[in-house]
Amino acid sequence: MNFIRRLFESRFWALTLKEIRQILKNRQLIFLLIFPPTVQLLIFGLALSPNVDHLSLGIVDYARSSESREFVSALVENDVFDVAAYPKNQAELGQAVRNGQLIAGLVIPPSFDRDLNQGDSTDVQVLIDGVDANTAGIARGYIQQTINQYTRQLNPQFKTALIETQTRFLYNPGLSSSWFFVPGVIGLVLTLTGSLVSSVTVIREKDIGTLEQLLMTPAAGWEILLAKVVPLFILLMGDVLLASAMGRFVFQLPFRGNFFLFLALSGLYVFVSIGIGILLATLARTQQQVVLTSFFFNVPIIQLSGAIAPIESMPKFFQILSWLDPLRHYVAIARSLILKGVAVEALLPNILTLLMFAVVLLSISVRRFRSQLN
Amino acid sequence: MNWPMTRQTNRQTNRPTSRILSQARKELVQFSRDRLTVALALILPLGMLLIYGYAIRLEAKNIPLSVQDLDRSPLSRSYVERLFATNQFIPAPLIDSSPLSSLDHGLAKATVVIPPHFSREVAEGGSQVQILVDGTDVNNARVIQNSIRGVTNFFIQSLPNSVRPEGIRARVRIWFNPGRQESLYIVPGIFGVVLWVFPSMLSAIALVREKEQGTAIQVYASDLSSTEWLLGKGLAYWLVAVAEAAVVMGVSGLLFGLRLQTGPFPLLLGTGIYLAAAVSFGLFVGARTGNQNGAVQGTAIVGFLTSFLLSGFIYRLENIPFPLSLISNIIPARYYILLTRDAFVRGAGWAGIWFVLPILALQGFVLFKLASKIMQSMQLSE
């Protein structure tokens, strides 16, 4: 009780109250805390989807037989391809692919059913637009597998392959793409909002010159800074809850791990983002410079974190660089806790790294802040 | 205007075109004096090109794969060998002899489980291999499934008792990008993002700065009309944007080996119009907002999010679901990316992309009209 009374009478408490009042009065700040995170989560979660389905397929069927039609319907059965056009000949098909109207084309030779009935093999030609290299690769895989299966069905004695592969997708059995992106975007949102909001609140006092007035009060540097950090931390935890609620109810994320562990580690990351923001604010002189430099920092932080494009597909150099990216560790934690539901032991390396980042960033920014005060 | 040049050439400034030109010249001089903005204009686009150009790859190479071989026969060992011979997978340890725990710890992206009597079952006519794939990364989960199946099919053909049924063989050819280099897909897309975000940001800052410093009011007092003023500003920043485009495209030619596949006219014309639209967007945002902060935020967040996420830059446009797909239809970057991909990869020329130019021109015109309308009403109310 004594401690609580001391806290309420302390200078620190007065400063914190001042900060809270200032934040609540600042409409722009409240707007920044609510609107951009919501929009970013929605757009990233909905718009980014690597699905490969309903690719437009053009068919030139020189055989025009029931066998060839059956083959085509087997090929489009699983909705990877939609038959979009029946060009008259190969040249017309090629032109349509070149102009970007079709993504793939299939040419069935005139001898298709004759060859098959005689027990010979027959060659069909497939052409795929390779501009989108990733889609082209997956589309090629589908075509080859479907044709393999279809061939086996034609020959009852080979119905089962010698080795059958049975795939199980763990953690995300429906392969829903928002499950991959949304945990990453929660980290992205915390980085952007946390660094922006904290740098803006620090720099504004510098801009207006009220920081010097604060200096003249008996309050110590750390008291001023801590009083700034605590309300921001509480508000940003509100963002964590907002983002989790959207993840749960809009995107149906499973949250398989311990939710309180998730909240605690998100809190740790919030400290990191506040540290980034205050550091940016001590580096810059005006609000405009803060916004520009934060843009400069945030693009690589986000890009190397694996929130948008998987880290495993980056070149080696960037993979190594990404270890220095705090967001990478948070995204790994968020995905593990939300999708995999792993225990805390599996996350220890990430947690320790984040802790280190929080301590280093905050102590650098406190030191720079203090030296600027003197 | 306290700029000596415009006073001296008073006689010339009677004609609107020369008034616009001298306004543009003044703007360029002012721009070149602001070190921070010049650095921003050249370094940021290049930095973004390098990060996106090298770091965005969708297909993983060197995927860590662990194997639980319960058979331990020569056959199973040669199957495992074949899996790793593709260079797509690298071996990852199996933890606690459970197929799941190396996935849980994130040490492997997939585990292949070979059943105990694998070689006997294969000899007798059929066995099953189980593949557990980490489905977190949806795209690579599919890639992994496809390539393990592909390797398995290949392995089956090498088996002594495999009788290949005669049937359909697919001769697959991949056009335009036979080696499936992802940089050929990503880098032309970066042009769409970078050449939208930065030109619009610069022109928005320039416009807002005059409003903040109050020099915009001096313009109202002169005989310069608001449209002429905006045209002059726009022209200056359009020239800056052309320089940025030349730098970004030149560097990508050197680093990523991009080469023009068709005549340069569609690209040149389209880039010119696209940059004009981007500058107009910046002027529009600048006219709407009151401070530089808001201008940067507006162009960075709106311009960046839309040109990055709703333009088909990373994944196919067709995958954007319904209400959002409507928005993507009015995003200029979406059309411009079609044009750059055609110019640098596909090479079909006008036939596939002629519609891009009128659409971009219309969008640029509308944005400019909106900006000048706002400035005009501001001038009247002043």
Per domain, the residue ranges of chain A are: 16-48+173-373, 55-158
| Mutation for A interface: B61, B68, B166, most A CBs within 10 A | B166
- Comparing CB atoms, the residue among B138, B178, B309 nearest residue A44 is B309
Q: In this complex, is the C-beta atom of A175 within 8 Å of any C-beta atom belonging to chain B? A: yes
Q: Which positions in chain B touch A52 (Cβ < 8 Å)?
A: 142, 316
Question: For B63-157, CATH number?
Answer: 3.40.1710.10
Q: Do A167 and B147 touch (CB under 8 A)?
A: no
Distances (CA, A) of A123 to A95, A107, A109, A113: 22, 9, 7, 11
The sign of the CA dihedral B183, B186, B189, B194 is negative
Q: What is the structure's pLDDT at A99?
A: 87
CB B376 within 8 A of CB B219: no
Taking a C-beta distance cutoff of 8 angstroms, is the pair A316, A340 a contact?
A: no
* CB count in 10 Å sphere of residue A257: 22
Helix H segments across A53-132?
A: 66-75, 90-98, 112-117
Q: A126 contacts in B (CB within 8 Å)? A: 170-173
> Within the 123-142 window of chain A, which residues sit less than 8 Å (CB to CB) from chain B?
123-138, 140-142
Of A71, A163, A335, the CB nearest to B168: A71
Residue B302 DSSP code = I
Residues 103-122 of A with CB under 8 A from B: 116, 119-122
Phi and psi at A102, nearest 5°, equal -120, 145
Q: Give the strand pairing for B63-69 and B168-175.
A: unpaired
Tokens representing A209 are 């010159």
Residue of A140, A318, A336 with shortest CB distance to B55: A318
Interchain contact A97–B (C-beta under 8 A): yes
Q: Give dist(CA A106, CA A68) in Å, integer.
A: 11
Digits of tens for pLDDT over chain B (382 positions)?
444 444 444 444 567 788 888 888 988 888 888 777 787 788 889 988 998 998 888 888 888 999 999 999 999 999 999 999 888 899 998 888 888 888 888 889 999 999 999 989 888 878 889 999 998 888 889 889 988 988 888 888 888 776 666 677 888 888 888 888 888 999 999 999 999 999 998 898 888 888 877 777 777 777 778 888 899 999 999 999 999 999 999 999 999 989 998 889 999 999 999 999 999 999 999 888 877 777 777 787 788 888 888 998 988 888 888 888 898 999 999 999 999 999 999 888 888 889 999 999 999 999 999 998 888 877 665 4
Q: Do B147 and A141 touch (CB under 8 A)?
A: yes
Closest residue of B to A349, CA-based? B105
| d(C-alpha A81, C-alpha A58), whole Å | 10
Nearest Cα residue in chain A from B306: A43
User: What part of A 313-332 touches B (C-beta under 8 Å)?
Assistant: 313-315, 317-318, 332
Q: Amino acid identity of A75?
A: L
Q: Scan residues 332-371 of A and list those with Cβ closer than 8 Å to B.
A: 332, 335-336, 339-340, 342, 346
Cβ contact, residue pair A160, B126, below 8 Å: yes
Nearest chain B residue to A291 by CA: give it: B293
Could you give the strand order of the β-sheet that contains B110-114, starting from the edge strand earlier in sequence? A163-170, B127-134, B110-114, B63-69, B89-91
Structural domain boundaries in chain B: 4-56+182-381, 63-157
CB contact under 8 A, B172 and A173: no
- From the list A135, A166, A340, the residue facing B130 with the nearest CB is A166
Could you give the angle at the alpha carbon of B22 between the alpha carbons of B18 and B23, nearest 5°? Answer: 115
Please, how many CA atoms are within 13 Å of residue A50, restricted to the half-sphere of its CB?
30
Q: β-pairing, B127-134 with B110-114?
A: antiparallel
Residue among B52, B61, B122 whose CB faces A303 most closely:
B52
Query: CA nearest B164 in A: which residue?
Result: A158
CATH architecture of A55-158: 3-Layer(aba) Sandwich (3.40)
At residue B382, the pLDDT reads 45
ipTM score of complex: 0.83
- What whole-number distance in Å separates Cα of residue A201 and Cα of residue A104? 54
What is the rounded CA–CA span in Å between residue A56 and residue A106?
A: 11
Give pLDDT tens digits along chain A (374 positions). 677 777 777 788 888 888 888 878 878 788 888 888 998 899 888 888 888 889 999 999 999 998 899 999 999 988 899 999 999 999 999 999 988 889 999 999 998 888 888 878 888 999 999 989 889 988 998 888 888 888 877 776 666 677 888 888 988 888 888 899 999 999 999 998 998 888 877 777 776 777 677 767 777 777 777 888 888 899 999 999 999 999 999 999 999 999 999 999 999 999 999 999 888 888 877 666 777 677 778 888 998 998 888 888 888 888 899 999 999 999 999 999 999 888 888 899 999 999 999 999 988 887 887 777 65
Asked if A253 is an interface residue toward chain B (Cβ–Cβ < 8 A), one would say no
Do B300 and A133 count as a contact with CB atoms less than 8 A apart?
A: no
- The token pair at A52 is 């490969």
Does the beta-carbon distance from B296 to A123 stay under 8 Å? no
pLDDT of amino acid A288: 64
Three-state DSSP at A226 gives helix
- A/B interface, count of CB pairs below 8 Å: 320
